[in-house]
Amino acid sequence: MLRRLIGTTDGALAHRTFVPRTRVTGPTGAVRIGTSGWLYPRWRKTYYPEGLPHARELSYIASRLGSVEINGSFYSLQRPESYRAWYHATPPGFVFAVKGSRFISHMKKLRDPGVALANFFASGVLALEEKLGPILWQLPPNLGFDRERLATFFDALPRDTTAAVRVAKGHDRRVAGRAWLRTEARRPIRYAIEVRHPSFADPDFISVLREHDVALCVADTAGRWPFLEDVTAEFVYVRLHGDVELYASGYGDDALDTWAKKIRAWRRGVEPADAIRASTQRPAKRAARDVYVYFDNDAKVHAPFDAERLAERVGVSAAPRREGAPASPPSPRSRSGYRAAAARRVAR
């Protein structure tokens, strides 16, 4: 192995083992199922065993699921030491999805993202190294579809970790002295976008996503916001916020069976037969697509249990359910009710 001097934080140097560039490979049909966040007081003594130190909660959920979504990055710039702690708390092969900064999506509404995007990448995101999964941009409900705005924003996004380092070097004083400006290998960066305005149910929106290889987030929001299943990238990203009550209701067996069926279709590179789409144009054919699914119905502690139950259905559980663990209460929704609700979403 070779060693070289590299930058650590702003201006500092340290010896580090040189790692050759990672070979970029296409999707393999991998499925990652997890939760949106993991630090919830209600989960303690319910999902997390009594007496488990808070500092070990991430390690615990990572022993049972293959991924989690980092939420704190949405609300504020995190620190490199946090990302490194999360990296070391999880096993090899674990993957983090990261929510993009709401300062970019909600305050700036995607316009002129330059410095803000640099701060986001300099804050430590790249410290996740090979455990960095997709980056999700969640748009506010009051932001409608604007092709030019989206295309300009997508063009500004770095498409691999080496390019992200270059972007990060444009950071400002908000991360001065604590910026993470390096990567051990050049790896692709994937992006997904979650929309909440009805104007996005537009074939032109699907077209711009495909042009930029950005995944449309399939978001189940109990009918509140658009539900679309157009496949627009080499992977599929799903967020399950609750099918009856937003953030609160659990998913029953029929609903989980339906989602498992969809996942099996996506991972084979095809669309579900009953997919709800904004566009009549089918996606490019692929032998496989990777699938990321995150449960955000955390209010009543359904999310981690539902994630484990869905993972079991598609054969990607990280570990069997622990002895004596309480089961997530079933949702009253039947398969037919689920499909009827989905149809109503399209009509809205």
How far apart CA 11 and CA 6 sit, in angstroms, is 10
The DSSP letter of residue 103 is I
pLDDT at 8: 40
Task: Identify whether 259 is part of a domain.
Answer: yes
Range of the domain at 330: 3-14+27-347
pLDDT at 325: 44
pLDDT at 285: 85
pLDDT at 1: 33
**What CATH number has the domain bearing residue 206?**
3.20.20.410
Mean of pLDDT over the chain: 87
Please say if the pLDDT value at position 198 is more than 50: yes
Number of Cβ within a 10 Å radius of residue 131: 17
E-strand ranges in the chain read: 3-7, 13-17, 31-36, 67-70, 95-99, 132-138, 191-194, 215-220, 235-240, 290-295
Give one DSSP letter per residue of 238-274, joined into a string.
EEE--SSSTTTPPP-HHHHHHHHHHHHHHHTTS--TT
Which of the four pLDDT bands, split at 50, 70 and 90, describes residue 347? very low
pLDDT in tens, 127-186: 999 999 999 999 999 999 999 999 999 999 999 999 999 999 999 999 999 999 999 999
Closest among 193, 252, 251 to 225, alpha carbons compared? 193
What's the pTM value of the predicted model, to 2 decimals? 0.85
Which of the four pLDDT bands, split at 50, 70 and 90, describes residue 63? very high
Task: Identify whether 19 is part of a domain.
Answer: no
Task: Identify whether 36 is part of a domain.
Answer: yes
pLDDT at 284: 85
pLDDT at 201: 97
pLDDT at 111: 98
Mean per-residue pLDDT, 260-286: 95
Question: Pick the residue with more confidence: 285 or 143?
Answer: 143
Task: Identify whether 210 is part of a domain.
Answer: yes
Q: How many domains does the chain have?
A: 1
The DSSP letter of residue 188 is B
Number of Cβ within a 10 Å radius of residue 197: 15
Which range, of 14-18, 211-215, 305-309, averages the lowest pLDDT?
14-18
pLDDT in tens, 2-53: 333 334 444 333 333 333 344 445 788 999 999 999 999 999 999 999 999 9
pLDDT at 25: 56
Give one DSSP letter per residue of 31-77, joined into a string.
EEEEEE-S--GGGBTTTBPTT--GGGHHHHHHTT-SEEEE-HHHHS-
Please say if the pLDDT value at position 65 is more than 70: yes
Task: Identify whether 240 is part of a domain.
Answer: yes
Number of Cβ within a 10 Å radius of residue 76: 11
Token pair for residue 22?
């990672």
Task: Identify whether 332 is part of a domain.
Answer: yes
pLDDT at 181: 98
Which range, of 70-74, 116-120, 310-314, 317-321, averages the lowest pLDDT?
317-321
Mean per-residue pLDDT, 295-307: 94
pLDDT at 252: 96
Please say if the pLDDT value at position 87 is more than 50: yes
Task: Identify whether 22 is part of a domain.
Answer: no
pLDDT at 340: 39
Mean per-residue pLDDT, 48-77: 97
Task: Identify whether 21 is part of a domain.
Answer: no
